[in-house]
Structure 1
């Protein structure tokens, strides 16, 4: 499916009559069932690679190699059917959890404790390993795998801006303003990350031009964000996902900073990481009190969607951490910083 999607996105001369061919739709349904119902690893990887290609195509520009068929009904059907089956399988995991939620006024303390105690945050053994033991090649591989979400975070925020107004939009824009470095190009977060990628010899556009190096859990993570961002009906869930992100990032980054410094990197080279330790701690509380709480006070019924987003982010991050903990320890150590 991944190859079909990539070929179709960039093919010239696709005719509308092609949408009458039900074989593609049937094959997508079969793939999604194997991936998300049966849990077949190969099918899961193929489905997420195809979905990643479609999601990235929604970020393309006409002055680069444009995916001319990104809005074709066939692509829309593939995206919709993969995402629908994926969401059904995810929601089934949280049926009991979503029936036992706090009151609106108790939500801030509940969610802070919920995130702080989760397996995916700095409690996970991978972060102590990065801090205390990982070689340069192992740290580099962890950094490479995390690239898609980190490089596309500003784009995800931008998708959230239209149609939202008042204090909620103000908070979105404040977050986005930090993401784009207060309009100073060198301080734009993706550019700061790109500087470290250049230092480490990592192609800055590798996450776009070459998806095969990404483990399926990382594809799942970035697709979760991009699929929610490109589906307006899922905005509340994405707000929950972003809340979990902001609450958990600073602690994780502190361990990585210590690990990089152990290997000889300087504050200048680690500017991207250092920025997130301070900025995201503030963002987390602002997102909670100026975005989530006003929404819950307006409509408490959406707490289920917000908590679903929180839980998906936490558990997906845990699967990423579990996989990368095994993955990077299988990389032979021992290059040092030049």
Structure 2
């Protein structure tokens, strides 16, 4: 596979090796070829901006990330601990990160003084086009039909299903206020140790009600838009690389600030279509707890961190901008995608309750 077209489907090959019983017998030449293919893919995707390469690069990264979150007792064989997969992941992430730093250099070079940071962040997040002012949210609230709402909810599954895992990955090796706020976030994610209130379970319960398969984010990534895979890969790249932990603190500041408003507009859309608040418990939960997290994230993590070490501001801002623009690409794509469908990617609703 030396041509661009030959790189399509590379994620399937990587996934097959991740779980192959024959992995120990993988020839050295095959390992080298796979590294070369991924290196070419990374350059085509993140340096040249080739659309097909970007899709394949994020699929490769995504299947490796999913393998890193796989419990070994759930599969016959798990090879993700082999250095080969760390090398493949590293090749893609390094090229992506270098491109990102180059893209945001003008913003990083013009940052405000630390004393003005809170105001700068608030204004930057509120004015970003991925916020609730994006036309997709007005469409969901006022016009989207049942199938279009299902599709939007389906496409957002990966990050929502994995958010608790991302928080957990951040916690080792950090202490004090950062540890405490991460622990509070995680405690809410796991429903205060009540299984029925675990956010992941609450989301899957709503997906079941809507006739959506909960395993779509692991078993049917071909149905998912590339932009959502990129969003998960962004968080995972930061959370699993300790040198980028400061970036994800910035990314999560933007996340917690935006989520409540986005969910409120979806709730209104579902209510318009006759879905009751009992079924919407997952969305309703996030309109309250995330407001608290956003305030605490700034006051208990970001501001104290900047007071101790103002030099980390560029990394925090890089994380903020990556999150805003990556999430912005998701809603841009979904705005076109959702409006243009007649039924969800997994097929029409076939459940028992009445559909408006």
Give the TM interval when normalised to the shorter protein. over 0.9
The runs of at least 4 aligned residues of structure 1 exceeding 6 Å deviation read: 333-336
1:1-338 pair list within 5 angstroms:
1-15=10-24, 18-19=27-28, 21-65=31-75, 68-332=78-342, 337=355
TM-score by length of structure 2 reads 0.92
**Superposed displacement of residue 19, structure 1:** 5.0
**Superposed displacement of residue 23, structure 1:** 2.0
Q: For 1:19 and 1:304, locate their aligned partners in 2 and report how far apart those are by CA, in whole Å.
A: 41
- For residues 195-222 of structure 1, the C-alpha deviation after alignment (integer angstroms, 9 at most, x for no partner) is 1000001111221111110111111111
- For residues 52-94 of structure 1, the C-alpha deviation after alignment (integer angstroms, 9 at most, x for no partner) is 0000111111220165210112111110001111111111110
Asked if 1 retains the 8 angstrom alpha-carbon contact of 2:264 and 2:287, the reply is yes
**Superposed displacement of residue 167, structure 1:** 1.6
Asked if 2 retains the 8 angstrom alpha-carbon contact of 1:171 and 1:287, the reply is yes
- For residues 269-308 of structure 1, the C-alpha deviation after alignment (integer angstroms, 9 at most, x for no partner) is 1101111011101100100110111111111111101100
Alignment root-mean-square deviation, CA:
1.6
Asked if 2 retains the 8 angstrom alpha-carbon contact of 1:136 and 1:337, the reply is yes
Asked if 1 retains the 8 angstrom alpha-carbon contact of 2:21 and 2:77, the reply is no
Q: For 1:19 and 1:90, locate their aligned partners in 2 and report how far apart those are by CA, in whole Å.
A: 32
Structure 2 counterpart SS, 1:202 = coil
Unaligned runs of 5+ in 1: none
Q: For 1:319 and 1:127, locate their aligned partners in 2 and report how far apart those are by CA, in whole Å.
A: 14
Q: For 2:156 and 2:144, locate their aligned partners in 1 and report how far apart those are by CA, in whole Å.
A: 16
Q: For 2:77 and 2:288, locate their aligned partners in 1 and report how far apart those are by CA, in whole Å.
A: 38
Number of aligned residue pairs: 338
TM-score by length of structure 1 reads 0.97
Asked if 2 retains the 8 angstrom alpha-carbon contact of 1:243 and 1:310, the reply is yes
Structure 2 counterpart SS, 1:261 = helix
Q: For 1:77 and 1:244, locate their aligned partners in 2 and report how far apart those are by CA, in whole Å.
A: 30
- For residues 117-173 of structure 1, the C-alpha deviation after alignment (integer angstroms, 9 at most, x for no partner) is 100000100000000000010000000000000010000000011111112111110
**Aligned pair in 2 of structure 1 residues 96, 19: CA closer, same or farther (>3 Å)?**
farther
Q: For 1:316 and 1:297, locate their aligned partners in 2 and report how far apart those are by CA, in whole Å.
A: 28
**Superposed displacement of residue 17, structure 1:** 7.3
Q: For 1:160 and 1:112, locate their aligned partners in 2 and report how far apart those are by CA, in whole Å.
A: 24
- For residues 13-49 of structure 1, the C-alpha deviation after alignment (integer angstroms, 9 at most, x for no partner) is 3238745642222211111111111111111111111
